[in-house]
């Protein structure tokens, strides 16, 4: 244990300068709401000044003050091959030389959609869009169009983008900021969204008993990634499949985070459950704005221009994004890619659990594939299985842990409701350095508990 602390001590500086980030944040706050383009980046969940990043390479980023960090934000999931991966960058640059946007079909779109469809038994056809929010919004519209029903069901703490009807007990940034529902959402819109606890089949059955004739779809993150990282309980996803079949509703898997990250294809492949509709994003864009919704032919052919359900987008299927996505998926198809992700992520999980135990700090570390959820719980043995469990964890203790990790050269998402993302660029040395940093950070948490 001491060996780790001595090894990392040259990188540990509690007085790490963030002066340029402070100046940058003051300037951005004059022209951007909260100084950021997305809420959780503002560090409101942990306090302090956001890190303004200047450069990324592999599993590390460098901020404008010159501080270098091992990164577990990884753009909140897309960078599974690492920052500025040579092959991905080469594909983007090559395409940029031929044009950045056409508003007309390209063969690369077909290639990417074919790759996605070939990986998923539930998918025959794919529609490319620009963001996970757009994918979820469109998939729900399609479910309503296909069923002729109005209501949808979602789980408390699951986030499906900032669409009006989905900002009802949402997770991630909305949860961190203490506003799981948003002003500006009409009550009439929210009234068509029914909310149940994640991992609670009895509650799901009850809502179907009450509203089954008007439920278009049950939308769920098959692995909840916006309340930290919460795996599905055994039988939960299969139970949802049965309920949807029984009541004529569609099962919608939001795999914007998990698609092609937790397995080739995603959570639906890992757990062998076939949804009616799926949403993808993040990894399939390789770090550029790209997402998709997908499903069987008889449903997807209801999308315009093949069918009457309208959805469009000027930049959908952008050639730079498709080039990055195709190359990223090619990297993931190489032998051993997912084995490497599994090994490194398990090493991180085990190291964090050991470091916390040695420091006398109770934690729950959930993991599925290369997604990890770290919770500072009240007592040894406490688990996090749903939204209520996640919100019961200590925000103050997480803030202490977060800042101690940053000062030791490891950057986490500034919210206890975000997952840690491991990439192929996180080598054994990076994991060992992370665990060593966590020894310092857990010791800091322990001191605040005394």
As annotated, the active-site residues are 159, 254, 282
Question: Can you spell out the DSSP letters for 137-160?
Answer: HHHHHHHHHHHT--EEEEETT---
Q: What are phi and psi of 293, to 5 degrees?
A: -125, 150
Residue that has been written with the tokens 């951005």 in this structure: 28
- Tell me: cis bond preceding 93? Omega within 30 of 0 counts: no
Cα–Cα distances in Å, from 216 out to 122, 244, 319? 18, 9, 33
SS3 292: strand
| Residue with the two structure tokens 């007990």 | 169
Q: Specify the DSSP class assigned to residue 393.
A: S
- Which alpha helices (DSSP H) does 271-336 contain, by range? 297-300, 319-332
Report which secondary-structure segment, H or E, holds 439: helix 428-449
Cα distance between residue 56 and residue 177, in whole Å: 27
Q: Which helix (H) or strand (E) holds 368?
A: strand 363-368
């Amino acid at each position: 244990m001491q060996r780790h602390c001595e090894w990392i001590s040259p990188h540990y500086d509690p007085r790490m300068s963030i002066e340029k980030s402070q100046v940058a944040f003051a300037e951005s706050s004059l022209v951007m709401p909260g100084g950021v383009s997305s809420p959780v980046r503002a560090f409101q969940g942990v306090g302090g000044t956001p890190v303004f990043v200047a450069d990324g390479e592999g599993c590390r980023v460098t901020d404008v003050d010159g501080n270098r960090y091992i990164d577990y934000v990884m753009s909140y999931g897309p960078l599974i091959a690492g920052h500025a991966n040579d092959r991905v960058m080469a594909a983007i640059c090559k395409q940029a030389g031929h044009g950045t946007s056409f508003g007309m079909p390209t063969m690369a779109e077909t290639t990417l959609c074919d790759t996605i469809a070939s990986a998923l038994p539930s998918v025959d056809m794919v529609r490319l869009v620009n963001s996970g929010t757009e994918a979820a919004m469109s998939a729900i519209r399609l479910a309503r169009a296909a069923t002729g029903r109005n209501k949808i069901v979602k789980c408390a703490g699951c986030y499906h983008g900032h669409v009006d009807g989905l900002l009802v007990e949402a997770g991630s940034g909305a949860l961190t900021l203490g506003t799981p529902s948003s002003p500006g959402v009409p009550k009439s819109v929210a009234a068509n969204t029914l909310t149940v606890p994640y991992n609670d089949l009895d509650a799901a059955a009850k809502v179907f008993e009450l509203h089954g004739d008007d439920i278009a779809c049950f939308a769920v993150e098959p692995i909840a990634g916006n309340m930290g990282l919460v795996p599905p309980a055994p039988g939960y996803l299969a139970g949802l499949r049965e309920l949807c079949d029984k009541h004529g509703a569609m099962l919608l898997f939001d795999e914007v985070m998990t698609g092609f990250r937790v397995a080739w294809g995603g959570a639906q492949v890992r757990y062998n459950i076939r949804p009616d509709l799926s949403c993808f994003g993040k990894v399939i864009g390789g770090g550029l704005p790209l997402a998709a919704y997908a499903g069987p032919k008889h449903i997807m052919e209801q999308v315009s221009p093949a069918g009457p359900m309208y959805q469009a987008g000027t930049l959908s299927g952008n050639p730079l994004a498709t080039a990055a996505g195709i190359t990223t998926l090619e990297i993931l198809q190489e032998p051993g890619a997912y084995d490497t992700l599994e090994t490194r992520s398990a090493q991180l999980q085990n190291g964090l659990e050991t470091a916390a135990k040695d420091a006398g700090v109770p934690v729950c570390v959930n993991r599925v594939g290369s997604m990890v959820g770290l919770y500072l719980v009240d007592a040894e043995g406490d688990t996090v299985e749903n939204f209520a469990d996640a919100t019961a964890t200590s925000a103050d203790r997480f803030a202490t842990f977060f800042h101690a990790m940053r000062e030791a050269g490891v950057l986490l998402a500034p919210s206890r409701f975000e997952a840690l993302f491991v990439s192929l660029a996180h080598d054994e040395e990076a994991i060992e350095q992370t665990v060593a940093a966590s020894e310092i950070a857990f010791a800091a948490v322990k001191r605040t508990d005394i």
